[in-house]
Structure 1
Amino acid sequence: MNEELNARLLELLARIEPLLPPEQAPIDWSRDVAAIWQRHALGGRLTAVAPRDGVRVEELVGIDHQKQALLDNTRAFLRGRPANHALLWGARGTGKSSLIRALLNDLGDEGLRLIQVDRHDLVGLPTLVQSLRGSDYRFVVYCDDLSFEGSDDAYKALKSVLDGTLTGPPDNVLLYATSNRRHLLPERMADNSDTRIEGGEIHHGDAVEEKISLSDRFGLWLSFYPFDQSTYLAACRHWVAHLGGRFDTDAEAAARRFALERGVRSGRAAWQFAISWVGRQ
């Protein structure tokens, strides 16, 4: 009987083993400055990654107020002072994600470490945050392009970590998120009809408060807006020079056409134009 049971257990383990994540050495935060968190059936794991580029905060054009506010908040955090979780929201391509990545190049030597979490892995966020408690380093946990559908419960894990648990997040962890939506969850006209029943729910106004309360737990809101013509051209001039090109009158005319064809003026469009222009030269 025991032999049969052992055989069945070994067979079961053989089936489960391919589903488990491969073993990896723990991250050495004295050397590694960035990582990606991935959730799996037994919790999650951190995978060290190299910084995407060497762009620094001062190189980002057209978002001076946002740069200074986020730098001040992050430096206060690194020095052990009170600091807020931050939500960077607004128009696409205006530098939200680039600004957070640039923080690592500016402040990595001061002890900042950056961990990116995909929206689909947010359920494991409490496990990640607790694993960082007590570390000598200070971590910004970063969620890019964050938004949720109305039926998505992953936001509850983020909401709980921000300000809902008994202990709260550790002193060495801040959460930064970028989004095109200010309130992260979809809002509908029906949400304002709190005087009648919606979908069988009597206290419909409570459901609206539930949606808005997630954004309210970020203490620092930074708004990003589409670039005007002069800001867009200044960004094009900067990135063309950054890539070793020359921004003359022909380049300016081409940059105007590039924005017109794409129907958008943004930092991302300026960077894409610079790549295209310098590449052709």
Structure 2
Amino acid sequence: MKEFGGATTATITQYRQQAASLLLYQAVLKDTVGKTFLALLEALSSSKGLTNERSHCLIAYGKWFQSLASTGKSWGDHLIGQILIADNAFTQNAQRLPLAELPTPLLDAVRHDLRVLQALYNLSPSHISDCVQAACQLAKPPVVWSLLPESMPINLSTDWSASIAELVDYYKSQGSGQFGQFHGFRWQQGQLLGIAEPDPIRLEQLAAYEEPKTTLIKNTEYLLAGFNALNVLLYGSRGSGKSSLVKALLNEYAASGLRLIEVAKADLYDLPIIVEYLQLQPQKFIIFVDDLSFEEDDNAFKALKVVLEGGLTRRPQNIVVYATSNRRHLVREFFADRPRPRDADELQSWDTVQEKLSFSDRFGLTLTFEAADQPTYLDIVHHLAKQAGLDLPVDDLDYRAKQWATRHNGRSGRSARQFIDFLSAELASEHRR
């Protein structure tokens, strides 16, 4: 049985003091894993071998073990991940200023924190387990949460304090805080909420509609290059893949600094607030409004109109609006809106009609997704079947696809996807029998 001597206590106390001395990266240890780690160090440093203190140490170790297990990462990988998404004065300034322009005291503080964090990174869980065994006078050490390290997304030198330039480059390209942690977001009840698992759809999975697809990709690349990209309305029949195309852009260009903010129609009133916040960030943003349309007395479109046209302030170069709709004219128009020759207010009535009809024109680009004819529908089916690895004669596949379109949702990219998903499950089920 190992003894928990004064030297071990001093070492644990030293780690506690180092963790408390962090100047900029305190948030690295403020998540559940970090808090349980600090609580464990405290329990170990105050342990004197009494029965109740042994229980306290074991409970603290169990909480730390459980918090690490919930992440599915090793202790070291978790620390690295927290460093890379940290939001502090250094990470914010690193995204906006060249390394040579960062204040010397700020860089000194970073070097100090990196030395501390490297020491904690090198503190192996097996050593912590041995300390718990000794402090609690156990016959065997507790189970160790030990995983093989993952490949680092950044090349840190053997002395982390000498890797400031690498960190600056990383924060410039990937961001920090929530924009470093997440790529997709949802604006909800006045808050920007990160989406941990966005739709994984990729551009290569989308078939047909090559012309609007190519145009939207070019416009997005202009945004990423810092040019004046255009706001885009994706208009067309339901199920043609308009929303999937926008979401696929995020998966294609997230590593290049693209972020997507999904805003529901009910939250369009908050658009000026969203834009004011996003324009201060170094990343490029798509504000995504899906299935857009307005009733005749709906004032929400006025908030969108301001964002599309801009006000007194310059339109931010890092933000575009991509909206999808099944309607070419986004504001519903009724025959009663049209002026009659005998009406005294004929001119004013036509002004109202023209405002409604021209709202969609305020988007710089309108990309049309026409309803899929049978050849287009079958092309999409063939494309998806190949990706799914389905091995069926073409005639059989086409016959089933046509039957599906007739009996279900008609010919569209969405219908083709539903057909292939169902067919894949059906064939897999038959194969198991």
The TM tier, using the shorter chain, reads 0.7 to 0.9
Pick which of 112-121 and 206-215 moved more. Answer: 206-215
Shift of the 52–238 alpha-carbon distance from structure 1 to 2, 3 Å rule, reads: farther
The one of 151, 155, 160 aligned to 2:306: 160
2:348 pairs with one of 203, 212, 222: 203
Question: Are residue 34 (structure 1) and residue 184 (structure 2) matched?
Answer: yes
Q: Deviations along 1:233-276, whole A, 9 cap, x unmatched? A: 12112222323322423222111101112362110000000011
Q: Secondary structure at the match of 2:390?
A: coil
Cα distance in 2 for partners of 1:109, 1:186 equals: 39
The structure with more helix, counted as a fraction of residues = 2
Aligned alpha-carbon RMSD (Å): 2.0
Give the Cα separation in 2 of the matches to 1:184 and 1:29.
Answer: 31
Residue 99 in structure 1 maps to residue 249 in structure 2: no
Is residue 351 of structure 2 the alignment partner of residue 181 of structure 1? no
SS for the counterpart of 1:175 is strand
The percentage of aligned residue pairs carrying the same residue is 42
1:196/1:261 Cα in 2 relative to 1: closer, same or farther (>3 Å)?
farther
2:129 equivalent in structure 1: none
For the structure 1 residues 196 and 176, does the alpha-carbon distance in structure 2 shift closer, same or farther, using more than 3 Å as the test?
farther
Query: In the TM superposition, what are the counterparts of 1:108-257 in structure 2 within 5 Å?
Result: 108-193=254-339, 195-197=341-343, 203-248=348-393, 249-257=395-403
Alpha-carbon distance in 2 for matches of 1:174, 1:194: 39
Alignment match, 1:7: none
Partner SS, residue 30 of structure 1? helix
Residue 178 of structure 2 aligns to a residue whose secondary structure is coil
Aligned mates of 2:343, 2:314 — CA distance in 1: 35
> 1 or 2, which has the higher strand percentage?
1
Q: Deviations over 1:76-107 (max 9, x none)?
A: 11101121100000100001001000001111
Paired with 1:219 and 1:127, the residues of 2 have a C-alpha distance of: 22
TM-score, normalization: structure 1? 0.84
User: Is the contact between residue 237 and residue 247 of structure 1 (CA under 8 Å) also seen in structure 2?
Assistant: no
| Partner SS for 1:109 | helix
Query: What's the CA shift string for 1:36-56, capped at 9, x where partnerless?
Result: 0123xxxx1100003533222
Distance 1:279 1:75, change over 3 A: same
With over 3 angstroms needed to count, the CA separation of the structure-2 counterparts of 1:66 and 1:149, relative to structure 1, is: same
CA distance in 2, matches of 1:237, 1:50: 31
Residue 194 of structure 1: how far off its partner (Å): 5.5
Secondary structure in 2 aligned to 1:203? helix
- What amino acid does structure 2 have at the position aligned with 1:145? D
What number of residue pairs does the alignment pair up?
252
Instruction: State the SS of the aligned residue for 2:181.
Output: coil
Residue 81 (str. 1) matches residue 198 (str. 2) = no
**What whole-Å deviation, never above 9, does each CA across 1:153-212 have from its counterpart, x for those lacking one?**
1001000111141114321110010000111011233444363439x8871111112212
- Structure 1 or 2, whichever has the larger Rg, is 2
Structure 2 unmatched runs, 5+: 1-85, 88-176, 428-433
Q: 226, 236, 251: which is aligned to 1:90?
A: 236
Q: Which has the higher contact order (CA 8 A, sep 6+)?
A: 1
